[in-house]
């Protein structure tokens, strides 16, 4: 997993509750990304970060916010979870010679 | 982000060569083409990346014509373990960085290899 840890691995939450997913890296990479994966949609970019406190939106950013207060941590927050946010969430870092390296994913179920 | 189009699924027998073609008609000058492989319950894994012509590594070859509007991933002599989803991605370097990309994965091609 090249030093990328996602937590939690699985989570079930109720509609309307806030949820924060954590991505932790140990290799001091500048760029980090959050994707969601759903059947029929492939992987879609939610947000990405290009440094501490520097973030930008991806293709499907509505309903999500991110924060990066330290190089090693990139947090994804669902302010008020909805059933449409039930998905598998992947964090990734990018490296020059091998593109993206992904974490193991977080399976989120909103009931 | 440039849009990519690739077949939804492909079937192959063990030992055959598999070619997966991806079209990216609106690829930009600074865009690179990258292919990833994903197994169930895992994150995608980098296979190969190129900008133009041909690139080969120990796993696959990537063919890119001169107009760069398409690319073909070639997997030589596939085995059952090559059954996976393969993604073609086109992306730009973020702020002229050597390591930052914002990539659109699309839906991928589901490859099934059978005996």
Instruction: Say if CB A96 and CB A79 are below 8 A apart.
Output: no
A46 in contact with chain B, both atoms CB, cutoff 8 A:
no
The residue with greater pLDDT, A59 or A37, is A37
Instruction: Say if CB A44 and CB A58 are below 8 A apart.
Output: yes
Q: Which CATH superfamily is domain A4-82 in?
A: Immunoglobulins (2.60.40.10)
A40 in contact with chain B, both atoms CB, cutoff 8 A:
yes
CA distance B35 to chain A (A): 9
Instruction: Say if CB B61 and CB B54 are below 8 A apart.
Output: yes
Task: Please check the confidence at residue A79 and state whether its pLDDT lies above 90.
Answer: yes
CA torsion A56→B87→A87→A108, rounded to 10°? -90
Residue partners of A11: CB distance under 8 A and separation at least 6:
A19, A21, A106, A107, A108, A109
| Residue contact B94–A31, C-beta within 8 A | yes
Average pLDDT in the A17-29 region? 94
Residue partners of B72: CB distance under 8 A and separation at least 6:
B19, B20, B21, B22, B62, B63
CA distance A71 to chain B (A): 14
**Partner-chain residue, chosen from B46, B104, B106, that has the shortest CB–CB distance to A99:** B46
Kindly write down the DSSP assignment for every residue of A3-24, as one continuous string.
TEEEE-SEEEE-TT--EEEEEE
Pick out chain B residues at pLDDT < 50: 94-96
Question: Mutating which of B6, B38, B42, B102 best tests the A interface, going by the most A Cβ atoms within 10 A?
Answer: B102
Domains and CATH numbers, chain B: 9-105 (2.60.40.10)
The domain locations on chain A are 4-82
Reported as a pLDDT band with limits 50, 70 and 90, residue A13 is very high
């Amino acid at each position: 997993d090249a030093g990328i840890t996602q937590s939690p691995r699985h989570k079930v939450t109720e509609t309307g509750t806030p949820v924060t997913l954590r991505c932790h890296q140990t290799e001091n990479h500048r760029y980090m990304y959050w994707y969601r994966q759903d059947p029929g949609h492939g992987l879609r970019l939610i947000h990405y970060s290009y440094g501490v406190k520097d973030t930008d939106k991806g293709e499907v950013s509505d309903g999500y916010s991110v924060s990066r207060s330290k190089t090693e941590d990139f947090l994804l927050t669902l302010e008020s979870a909805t059933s449409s946010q039930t998905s598998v969430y992947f964090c990734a870092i990018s490296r020059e010679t091998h593109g993206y390296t992904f974490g193991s994913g977080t399976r989120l179920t909103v009931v | 982000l440039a849009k990519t189009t690739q077949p939804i699924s492909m079937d192959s027998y063990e030992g055959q060569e598999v070619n997966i073609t991806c079209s990216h008609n609106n690829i930009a000058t600074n865009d690179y083409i990258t292919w990833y492989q994903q197994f169930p319950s895992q994150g995608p894994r980098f296979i190969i990346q190129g900008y133009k012509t041909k690139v080969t590594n120990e796993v696959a070859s990537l063919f890119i014509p001169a107009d760069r509007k398409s690319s073909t991933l070639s997997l030589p002599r596939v085995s059952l373990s090559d059954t996976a989803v393969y993604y073609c991605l086109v992306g730009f370097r973020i702020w002229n960085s050597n390591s930052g990309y914002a990539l659109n994965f699309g839906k991928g091609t589901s490859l099934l290899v059978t005996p």
